Amino acid sequence: MSPRDDIPNLRGQDGEGSVQVHQDADMKIEGAKVFSVYGKGGIGKSTTSSNLSAAFAAMGKRVLQIGCDPKHDSTFTLTGQLQPTVIDILKSVDFHAEELRPEDFVTVGWGGVKCVEAGGPPAGTGCGGYVVGQTVKLLKQHHMLDDADVVIFDVLGDVVCGGFAAPLQHADRALIVTANDFDSIYAMNRIIAAVQAKSANYKVRLAGCVANRSKDTDEVDRYCDVVGFNRIAHMPDIDAIRRSRLKKKTLFEMELDEEVQMVRDIYTGLAQHLWNGTDPLAPAPMEDRDIFELLGFD
């Protein structure tokens, strides 16, 4: 037998050239609107996700936020502290999930938002996709998804492998957080390509992008015009957002002033827009050389 005879032929079944396995049909999230938040590392995905969760909760929606990063810092502004990860909790019971109760891995945060930190394998080992799958499986087993109106996956960093793209198997819409600079837009272009690959076999479609911590949006808008994408929100670089992270609170818990009110209104408008439904976008990502030539020139 040739060493290559054992390699499964999955070409095109989960994105062109993919060697991933398909999502188990039993793991499908039903009844809730599911969003995955992506973007370059450090761009503000957790800030965006947590404030979106708070905005949905303020609208009266039942929200579940799932952090998909080994740093497990997605939900700390909703709960006021870092939460233990699902993978660490499973490890503590030798992966006997039947021994766990929902309160062992789900924490209720501000506005009733249910918060889960999936965690991840140690650096350089394992696969983040496995961790996401185990987290969804655990939530399904304990019926924690049955009464959710909104589920938000907050996904770490750039999409560099199928593991990072695993939440796209569950999502209705993918939201990309970017900034008005080359590196952020370059990462967004790669994320668009990943979502487009997944959309061939899953229901996920792109919702649009949020220009975060940016005074201007000219470079973001220039890119969107070329590829056929939409900027659906602009979060200016203001101090209230920084202060909220230091206070371990969302903007919806902060003492109200003009700046805080402005940012709350932006997040509330974004949540309402996503809840009402966005057109399923199908932008055409650019080649690396082309995006290099596009950005940063008059």
Catalytic residues: 40, 45, 71, 158
Cβ atoms within 10 Å of 289's Cβ, excluding its own: 8
Contacts (Cβ under 8 Å, ≥6 apart) of 26: 140
Q: What is the DSSP letter of 86?
A: H
Q: Indicate the SS3 state at residue 50.
A: helix
Are the C-beta atoms of 283 and 192 separated by less than 8 Å?
yes
Q: Is 91 annotated as a binding residue?
A: no
- Estimate to the nearest angstrom the gap between the alpha carbon of 217 and the chain centroid: 22
- Radius of gyration in angstroms for the set of CA atoms belonging to the chain, rounded to a whole number: 19
Q: Is 39 annotated as a binding residue?
A: no
Are the C-beta atoms of 72 and 117 separated by less than 8 Å?
yes
Q: Is 213 annotated as a binding residue?
A: yes
Q: Is 45 annotated as a binding residue?
A: yes
Are the C-beta atoms of 244 and 251 separated by less than 8 Å?
yes
Q: Is 44 annotated as a binding residue?
A: yes
Q: Is 212 annotated as a binding residue?
A: yes
**Strand ranges across the sheet with 205-212:** 107-108, 114-117, 63-68, 150-155, 33-39, 173-178, 205-212, 231-235
Q: From its phi and psi, is residue 151 left (phi > 0), alpha (psi between -120 and 50) or beta?
A: beta
**CA distance linking residue 17 with residue 170, whole number of Å:** 20
Q: DSSP string spanning 248-277?
A: T--TTTSPP-HHHHHHHHHHHHHHHHHHH-
Q: Where do we find the tokens 């929606």?
A: 61
Q: Is 89 annotated as a binding residue?
A: no
User: What tokens appear for 6 in the block?
Assistant: 């054992």
Name the binding residues for ATP.
Answer: 42-47, 71, 212-213
Name the binding residues.
Answer: 42-47, 71, 127, 161, 212-213
Name the binding residues for Mg(2+).
Answer: 46
